[in-house]
Amino acid sequence: MIDFQLAEIFTKGMILQRDREVNLYGTGSNDTVISFTRGAETYKTVVVEGKWQLTFPGKTKGETETICLASTAGEVVLADVCYGDVYLLSGQSNVAFTFLENGGTYNPATLQNDVRYYIVPEVIYQDAEASIPAEITKNHWQKVDADTVQEMSALGYYLAAYLGAKNPDVPIGLIGCYKGGTPAAAWLSEEKLQANHTLDEHFLQPFQAILENQTKAEAAQLEAEYMERLTAYQGIKETWMAEHPGEEAAVMKQEIGHTPWPPPMTYSSYQRPAGLYHHMLEHLTGCTIKAAIWYQGEEDTKNASLYDLLLAGMIDQLRQMFDDTALPIFVIGLPGYLETAQGSWAELRARQWQICQETANVTLIPFIDQGEAYNVHPTCKKAFGERTGQFIWELLYQNGHLDTPYFEISRWTNTEIELICRSTRQLKAYGDKVILAKEETVPYRIDGNKVVLVLPKPLDEFDYAYVDFPTGWFLTDEKIPVQPSRFQRI
């Protein structure tokens, strides 16, 4: 019987990060010696306290090999291991949104490179007595084709297609670690939450009180009651849609209400602090990746004032997990959406931008020109994937200077205010209500990369696209929307 096991993410057909040292790791019997021989070189490690990690050089782009890990009790063979660039896709439902759900039509010619993906199983809860789900499917790396494309992240597909069109010689590996409806606290460890008093007080301490005061029977009752409400709502929704074919979602929600949300917080809730960190994200610790893409925030709009702390903790945690203090991280900015507490999406975008500005090698990708007013899952995932690919291509492959476009105040008088965007040569306006002061539109003119506000009266503050669902914005030469801002005269 073999005396060691690989972590589940390491399977045949996987893509490992090229041109870097890579790690394989897993569990085993103490003192077991594990080796991997490549040509004249042999790499060895020993199982200590039930765990092991083997480090060896990655190969160059497109190279493949069979990795045979051996101990005195047997061997594990990983065939068709390819070397390319590996990206983590993490967050909640919009990055989990599949190619099938997005209604995409697969065209083999669209992917000019070798693209493979692995999805971390959605394990919500585990202890010595129970597991949710009861049976956990062991996933493996999939090479994208007409059959496997349906279950992959739609954003990931279009990202890989964009990068492949630019550089077809580099295989792309995508690791999906996501779950719909999840707050950032679910992905953060207890240590990260405890490290900040505000996060500890807001997330961990209330959950600890639930654990101390709520029995498992009470938790089961709460969950059953919620499912009953949810099932009833789904039935009403299906009936309404059948009776009103083609009607807009906004009309439906006005008549029958919104989906019951959120689910109750219990000891096994997938929204509980640190839950998905332990059962999903933590299992990737030690992997070698090129960059991480974080698309999350919709569930935290109720915690918008805390999102800078949550995002800072997530960035720090990812860099510790992957042992890379300069790991490039790309944050997907929230698109437009109306069905939310007024101002919460706008504030969360501002908190995202604050941390991305303050942290090296973290890039915010604005998407205020995307989104649907009454659909929290916009179907324009092609636009999301391609713009993310555009930023990654310029910053990681071209050593370019594409960054988040934003405005600086270059002049503020009683008659004019001049804004400058240094990320472009020429701005273009789109839509209406681009600049507002106390909900009144402010006239402006564009002069290259400058916007000059023409003031009928002095202003002390104004907003640029600082609303939940912007209807107007400025675009750069690269067709990137300028990041929203709220300005006050100093």
Residues 6+ apart with CB under 8 A from 37: 43, 68, 70
C-alpha 289/C-alpha 86 separation (Å) is 5
Secondary structure class of 137 (helix, strand, coil): coil
Q: What is the pLDDT of residue 13?
A: 98
The residue written with tokens 């993906």 in the block is: 117
Whether 241 is covered by a domain: the verdict is yes
Whether 474 is covered by a domain: the verdict is yes
- Other beta carbons within 10 angstroms of residue 462's beta carbon come to 21
C-alpha 305/C-alpha 199 separation (Å) is 11
Secondary structure class of 243 (helix, strand, coil): helix
Q: What is the pLDDT of residue 340?
A: 87
The mean predicted confidence, pLDDT, of the chain is 96
Whether 206 is covered by a domain: the verdict is no
User: 249-256 vs 216-243: helix axis angle to the nearest 10?
Assistant: 120
Burial class of residue 386 in the structure, from the number of CB atoms within 10 Å of its CB (0-12 exposed, 13-18 middle, 19+ buried)? middle
Instruction: Please state the domain count of the chain.
Output: 2
Residues 6+ apart with CB under 8 A from 130: 268
- Residue at which a domain ends, from 214, 242, 262: 262
Running DSSP on this structure, what letter comes out for residue 19?
T
Secondary structure class of 239 (helix, strand, coil): helix
- Quick check: 328 and 363 in contact, CB under 8 A? yes
The CATH number of residue 446's host domain is 2.60.40
Domain coverage including residue 432: 408-488
Q: What is the pLDDT of residue 279?
A: 96
Q: What is the pLDDT of residue 396?
A: 97
Whether 53 is covered by a domain: the verdict is no
Q: What is the pLDDT of residue 433?
A: 96
Q: How many helices (H) and strands (E) does the chain have?
A: 11, 26
C-alpha 461/C-alpha 347 separation (Å) is 16
- Quick check: 284 and 9 in contact, CB under 8 A? yes
Whether 120 is covered by a domain: the verdict is no
Whether 325 is covered by a domain: the verdict is no
Ranges of the chain whose pLDDT falls below 70: none
Q: What is the pLDDT of residues 217-246, one digit of tens each?
A: 999 999 999 999 999 999 999 999 998 988
- Residue at which a domain ends, from 262, 292, 327: 262
Whether 439 is covered by a domain: the verdict is yes
Whether 244 is covered by a domain: the verdict is yes
